[in-house]
Amino acid sequence: MAALLAASALVPASASAQDNASIEDRLDRLEAMMERLEARLDAAQSTSAEDAAMAQEMRAAVAETRAVAEQQGQIETRVAAMEEKDTQGFRIGGTQFSLGGYVKMDAISQRTSGGQVPGDSINRDFLIPSLIPVGGSASGWDTHFHARQTRMILKTATPVGDKTLGSHIEMDFLVTSGGDQRVSNSYVPRMRQAFLTYGGWTFGQAWSTFQNVGALPESVDFVGVMPGTVFNRQAMIRYKTKSGISIAVEQPETTITNSVGGRILPSDDQMPDVIVRYDGPVTVAAIARQLNASDNVLASGSDSAWGYGVSVSGKIPIGEKDDFRFMGTVGDGLGRYIGANIVNDAAIDANGNLDPIFTYSGYAAFRHVWTDKMRSTIAGSYFKADNPVSLTSGSPTDNVWNAMANIIYSPVPKLDLGIEYMYAERENEAGASGNLQKVQATAKYAF
């Protein structure tokens, strides 16, 4: 059966390239072949050897058709969709498993004008705006290599009724403990995301509904525009309609700045954060949250305050291959959602009550494709906090901005070699400032 199906699909490339109709016929046969393979797997009628041979011939047919379609500049969407349905992974019972992720090595050399970045600081691995030193002596250029961004993703898909029950487990090695850099460079894995999906529902830890990950620019740094972006992963219950509207309740967590600029995590939250989002040509998200602290934290007794905000973001095509990406966010009491918690959600005022901190932030990025194997991104971001009077003489961040430019070369598919220059600057409420300059090279292979 596999040989007959493959023979019907594997027509000569030269004949297929002659007109649209022949390529369409070829795609029809390939799609029929995929459907038959899926049916055979679901019914458990074939042996593993037969399935493997059939899948191998199907991949060869898809690869050949892609070459033809690219030469003619035709129907790439259908070819890509078939590749997406490729039989990668393995099946146990009625569940299809797939593995993905990437291996990434970063070589970083950076200097700071306002003090030395500690050797064990995460700010050596990627930009954390609140950790840029201010008010101290300049450092030299410090060089640091790591592979901690390397990522593993396990996905499953199981037919349940007329829908698919999916799961997603994602791990890497950033921001974790482990051995030092003297000998082993061993780091503990961490859970990034862990969620299940069914229909339009999502349950588990994922990127916050308030964040549009699809609008992030391509960068060599882990995020690139951290000062200006919403950045948060947490547990949630979310439902997304077919019209692009998402409604979510997500993990609450209030972060508070005390009178000396320290951070308090009271863990007294009573209501989940509520987020509504619309995904269209431009993505718009709104959030409402209750900030809460008990008398264990506040001298005046327990207190609560409301936080709110709006974020607008998008990715706009320019020409055939270039694009412009952006985000703008404004609100009160959003601290932990912006730039990896640059400032906190609220401060303790003179009366011992919660005073939400107003912030606004944003970024813009332009991506230019030079050739099929080379592209560049230039980007800039900005963050500003309107800190309460009680903090105006302290150390909390007042503003941060950064700019970056890179060039990324892909000699073969899924292999990226890149280099990037970044400049970032932070100023605190006391007026002390400092900058960070960084040159970063990377090698990344996605699988």
Q: How confident is the model over 383-442, as pLDDT tens digits? A: 999 998 877 667 899 999 999 999 999 999 999 999 999 999 999 998 999 999 999 999
For residue 67, count CB atoms less than 10 angstroms from its CB and return exposed for 0-12, middle for 13-18, buried for 19 or more.
middle
Q: What pLDDT is stored for residue 262 in this prediction?
A: 83
State mean pLDDT over 56-68.
63
Give percent of the chain above pLDDT 70: 79
Q: Which residues sit opposite 113 in a β-bridge?
A: none
- pLDDT of 53 over the 50 cut: yes
Q: What pLDDT is stored for residue 316 in this prediction?
A: 97
Q: How far apart are CA 236 and CA 256, in angstroms?
A: 22
Q: What pLDDT is stored for residue 11 in this prediction?
A: 41
Neighbours of 42 (CB within 10 A): 12
Q: How far apart are CA 113 and CA 423, in angstroms?
A: 11
Q: Give per-residue pLDDT as tens, 6-52.
A: 444 444 444 444 455 566 666 667 766 666 666 655 555 445 555 65
Region of 342 on the Ramachandran plot (φ > 0 left; ψ -120 to 50 alpha; else beta): alpha
State mean pLDDT over 363-383.
98
Mean confidence (pLDDT) of the chain: 87
Q: What pLDDT is stored for residue 180 in this prediction?
A: 83
Q: What pLDDT is stored for residue 214 in this prediction?
A: 95
Q: How confident is the model at residue 63 (pLDDT cuts 50, 70, 90)?
A: low
- pLDDT of 67 over the 90 cut: no
**Which one has a higher pLDDT value, 312 or 90?**
312
For residue 201, count CB atoms less than 10 angstroms from its CB and return exposed for 0-12, middle for 13-18, buried for 19 or more.
middle
Domains of the chain in sequence order:
2-87 (no CATH), 98-446 (2.40.160.10)
Q: Across 48-52, 101-105, 120-124, which has the greatest mean pLDDT?
A: 101-105
- pLDDT of 308 over the 60 cut: yes
